[in-house]
Amino acid sequence: MGGGEITKRGKGLVVLAVKTFPEDAVKETLAEIKEEFPDLEFHYIWPKFEVKKNDMPDSDESEIPNIKFIQFVSAGTNHVSKHPIYTDTKIPLCNASGVHGPQIAEWVVMTDLIHNHNYLYLYEKQRKKEWKHSNGEISSQDNVGRTVGILGYGSIGRQVARVAKAMGMKVLAYTASPRKTPESKRDTGFIVPGTGDAEGEFPDAWYSGLDKKSLHAFLKLKIDLLVLAVPLTPQTTHFLSTPEFALLAANPTRTYIANIARGAIIDQPALVHALHAGQIAGAALDVTDPEPLPKDDPLWDAPNVLITPHVSGVTSTTGERCFQVVRENLRRVRDGRGLVNEVDRGRGY
């Protein structure tokens, strides 16, 4: 979105292009924005066709003068990291970090519970109309005392931690850089009220590093549920591959992996091998490499894997929350404050 000065009295222009949800899906927050910024002119564009991931206009700053910021509806911006708007301009880019935390955390917990309580087995019994219950036939486990390791302690990881703590789990956080002070542990991005971990209070321990030595030290810990929530960057591409799965294999309770980040965080052929070899307990994947996952990909038939088509962040409230970020950034531009969720181009997120 861009346009003229956004002031308390000045006339401005906001152009909104949204591929995921129609205007009716965001009408409440959009109405609030229009009420708060009555001098802004809105053009809501909802393309009713599939937008490919690299379909952004080849525009520069001269073609859209005085642009204030571009707001993405995704938490990641790796899909446009090679686009001229990203590489050749200084236009502020803002992601939707924080918007997807509640629903994705629920997806993580849901798939972990499906695994722990053998629900797929029980569902097959239901489909066959079989009432079978005998001690020792199936083995279930609750989450009390288990450990969740969260690779990438952003808004999603923080909400996973909140829910995990409520279930009696131990939380281990892992970030790119050390977080040794209270200030460094705070979440300064957009937060859905009543969710997340604004002060960084939930982790029982905090680890960090983008180097393999640091990652391997983390993976050697007894982690029951490993949640991948890191952004996709050159440093995190194939963050988990053959050596990492070999380390996880040493865990006597076997680690269950949930990937809600990007498919390329995992070396997929190595994952397929780890599943067949029993190096890990299983995997829940909302992302794959590539997407869509081809029908003949061996990942489909790997044992103990749950696959969903990149939908964990999509709910009926997603659109409204995205426009709550827009509203906050409009306020910040008007008031001369820094933007929320602004992408650091150097870091890639």
Q: Which residue of the set 41, 124, 130, 291 is catalytic? A: 291
Residues above pLDDT 70, as percent of the chain: 87
Q: Write down the residue that tokens 């001269």 correspond to.
A: 62
- Of the candidates 239, 231, 162, 222, the one whose C-alpha atom is nearest the C-alpha of residue 193 is 162
262 is catalytic: yes
- Of the candidates 113, 104, 107, the one whose C-alpha atom is nearest the C-alpha of residue 154 is 104
Q: 123-165 pLDDT, tens per residue?
A: 999 999 998 776 666 788 999 999 999 999 999 999 999 999 9
Q: What is the pLDDT of residue 44?
A: 81
H helical segments located in the chain: 27-36, 84-87, 101-116, 119-127, 155-166, 212-219, 242-248, 268-277, 318-335
Beta bridge partners of 135: 138
**pLDDT at position 48 over 80:** no
Does residue 59 or residue 26 have the better pLDDT?
A: 26
Q: Which residue of the set 262, 321, 332, 334 is catalytic? A: 262
Rounded to the nearest 10°, the torsion over CA 290, 291, 294, 295 is 140
Task: Report which residue type is found at 112.
Answer: D
Q: What is the pLDDT of residue 164?
A: 98
Long-range contacts of 287-296 (CB under 8 A, 24+ apart): 287/259, 287/260, 287/261, 287/262, 287/263, 288/263, 289/262, 289/263, 289/264, 290/263, 291/263
CATH class, range 12-98+315-335: alpha beta
Q: State CA 92 to chain mean position distance.
A: 21
Q: What is the pLDDT of residue 1?
A: 42
**pLDDT at position 21 over 80:** no
pTM value is 0.87
83 is catalytic: no
Instruction: Report domain extents, the chain.
Output: 12-98+315-335, 101-307
Q: Which residue of the set 79, 117, 186, 310 is catalytic? A: 310
Q: 276-328 pLDDT, tens per residue?
A: 999 999 999 999 999 999 999 999 999 999 999 999 999 999 999 999 999 99
Report the SS3 class of residue 258: strand
Candidates 2.30.110.10, 3.30.70.20, 3.40.50.720, 3.40.50.2000; CATH matching 101-307: 3.40.50.720
310 is catalytic: yes
Around Cβ 43, how many Cβ atoms within 10 Å?
11
Give dist(CA 60, CA 128) in Å, integer. Answer: 60
